[in-house]
C-alpha cells in the first residue's frame, strides 16, 4: 500500500496551520476554511480533531506560549530576582513581536491553554520567592502583561513617518525629541531603536518600583 500523499491531521498540525494563518492574514483571517485550505483538506475533516474556531485559538495559544522561555524564572530567589524577571520579560516580548497578530485573539480571552497556565503559575511562584505577597504578585504579573503585550502590539514610532525636521515649526517639541532620540540611538538604529529603549526604560521603572516595595517591607 502506498504512503499517504500528505501528513495525517492532528490537533498540533491544525494548530500550527492556524498560527501560520494568523501570522500571515491577521486575526480576521482565521477560519476553519482558511486552515483547511492551508492544509490541503476539506474543512469538514478538521472537525475530527477540533470542535471549531474556539479550539483553534486554544491550540495556537498553546503553541505561542510554548515559545516563551520560563527558564529565567525557575532559579529566582529573593537576592537575584531582578535579572530573572528582566530576562523573562524580554523573552516574553520577543515571542509576541514575532506573533503580533495573536495579541488581539489572546489578550482578552480566558486563560485556558496548559502552557499559559503553567507560565502564570511559574511567574507567580517566582514573584513569591522574590518576597511578594500573593496579591502583590498578582498585580505585578498583570503589570508585566500590560507592559509586554502593549509594547508588542503598538510601537511609539510607527506613526511618525516623516523626517523629524518636517514637524517644525508647528510641533517643535516633537521634532526636537525625535531628533534627540535618533542621535542617542546612533547611526543605523532607526526608529525601532526608540521603541526598544522605551520598553527597556518602562521595564526598569517597573522593576525599580518593585524593588522599592520589597525594600520597604524588609
CATH classification (class only), 70-155+191-216: mainly alpha
Q: Looking at domain 11-65, which CATH architecture does it have?
A: Orthogonal Bundle (1.10)
Dihedral over alpha carbons 78, 80, 82, 87 (to 10 degrees): -130
The domain ranges of the chain are 11-65, 70-155+191-216
- Find the distance separating the first CA and the last CA of the chain, reported in whole Å: 71
pLDDT in tens, 184-213: 876 655 566 889 999 999 999 999 999 999
pLDDT in tens, 2-34: 444 445 899 999 999 999 999 999 999 999 999
CA distance 156 to 177: 12
Is pTM beyond 0.75 here? yes
Q: Which cell numbers in the block locate residue 196?
A: 526598544
Cα–Cα distance list, 49 to 59, 65, 114, 178 (Å):
11, 21, 18, 51
Amino acid at each position: 500500500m502506498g504512503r499517504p500523499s500528505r501528513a495525517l491531521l492532528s490537533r498540533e498540525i491544525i494548530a500550527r496551520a492556524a498560527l501560520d494563518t494568523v501570522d500571515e492574514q491577521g486575526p480576521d483571517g482565521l477560519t476553519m476554511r482558511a486552515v483547511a485550505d492551508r492544509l490541503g483538506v476539506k474543512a469538514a475533516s478538521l472537525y475530527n480533531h477540533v470542535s471549531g474556531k474556539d479550539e483553534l485559538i486554544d491550540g495556537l495559544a498553546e503553541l505561542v506560549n510554548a515559545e516563551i522561555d520560563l527558564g529565567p524564572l525557575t532559579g529566582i530567589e529573593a537576592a537575584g530576582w531582578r535579572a530573572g524577571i528582566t530576562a523573562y520579560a524580554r523573552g516574553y516580548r520577543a515571542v509576541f513581536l514575532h506573533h503580533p497578530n495573536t495579541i488581539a485573539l489572546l489578550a482578552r480571552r480566558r486563560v485556558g491553554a496548559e502552557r499559559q497556565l503553567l507560565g502564570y503559575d511559574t511567574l507567580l511562584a517566582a514573584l513569591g520567592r522574590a518576597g511578594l505577597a500573593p496579591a502583590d504578585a498578582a498585580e505585578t504579573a498583570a503589570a508585566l502583561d500590560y507592559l509586554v503585550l502593549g509594547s508588542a502590539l503598538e510601537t511609539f514610532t510607527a506613526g511618525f513617518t516623516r523626517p523629524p525636521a518636517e514637524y517644525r515649526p508647528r510641533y517643535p517639541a516633537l521634532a526636537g525629541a525625535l531628533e534627540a532620540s535618533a542621535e542617542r540611538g546612533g547611526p543605523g538604529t532607526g526608529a525601532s531603536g526608540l521603541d526598544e529603549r522605551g520598553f527597556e526604560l518602562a521595564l526598569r521603572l517597573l522593576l525599580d518600583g518593585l524593588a522599592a516595595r520589597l525594600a520597604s517591607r524588609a
